[in-house]
Amino acid sequence: MSRMDTAHYKVILAYNGSGFAGFQRQRSARTVQGEFETSLRELGWRGESILAAGRTDAGVHASGQVVSFKLDWAHSSNNLLHALNYYLPQDMAAQSVEEVASDFHPRYDAISRFYRYRCFCQTVRNPLREDFSWRIWPAASIDRMNTAAKSLIGSHDFKAFGRATTDSGVTVREVFSAAWREAGDELQFDIIANAFLYHMVRRIVLVLVRIGQGEKPVHLVTESLESEQMTLTGLAPSKGLFLQEVSYT
């Protein structure tokens, strides 16, 4: 743009979640939204709140979070990318910036979300890896985990694996794919769905890992979906979870 115009911008945002108390702005804690909005104000932004594709938990990382905002900006989208990254803290960075339609909404317009969870099997801790993956022991069988994960695919009520953000929220979600793979000495779980419940991915990962370790039967996933109840409590640590990509039409 050659003159000062208000435009709507979409940003792909990456961040190391270790130093954040989650995505959503909080009064007395450091958050992704809070830091991003603080940096955006350095560029003349006067909005009340940015929009986002989703709210990641404390400690969860992202390579493909999507945020949007309206801004009076007299330069190119590429210049905005570099200006944002000049002000953003070192543990987060804009990966791309593009101008979008005024009615674009990063959450409501999304057709799928892709999360990856990373584990490695080792008897002793590794401080150089454990900010970004979950060390598990004993080792887990990828075949058992993949057999159980197949039951997740399709449209189900995932009440046993998470909760809606409101008391009246619907807990039915559609999972398009869910599978473990080996990546070097890592076990990585990739799951794509139209949307996710609160804590849904971390609960699923915990259940699948316990199945892979032989502590729980393979049919636990199917039984939990059918009964809408989960006998296993707890969550996989947030540090192994990454929001990889949000897709749109």
Catalytic residues: 57
**For the purposes of burial, counting CB atoms within 10 Å of the CB of 32, is it exposed (0-12), middle (13-18) or buried (19 or more)?**
buried
Q: What is the DSSP string of the chain?
A: --S-EEEEEEEEEEE-GGG-S-SS--SSS--HHHHHHHHHHTTT---S--EES--PPTT-EEEEEEEEEEEEE-S-HHHHHHHHHHHS-TTEEEEEEEEE-TT--TTTTEEEEEEEEEEEE-SS--TTTTTSSEEESS---HHHHHHHHGGGSEEEE-GGG-B-SSTT---EEEEEEEEEEEETTEEEEEEEES---BTHHHHHHHHHHHHHTTSS-TTHHHHHHHHT--S------GGGEEEEEEEE-
- The 8-class DSSP code of residue 214 comes to T
Residue with tokens 């794919």: 177
- The 8-class DSSP code of residue 163 comes to B
Q: How far apart are CA 236 and CA 17, in angstroms?
A: 15
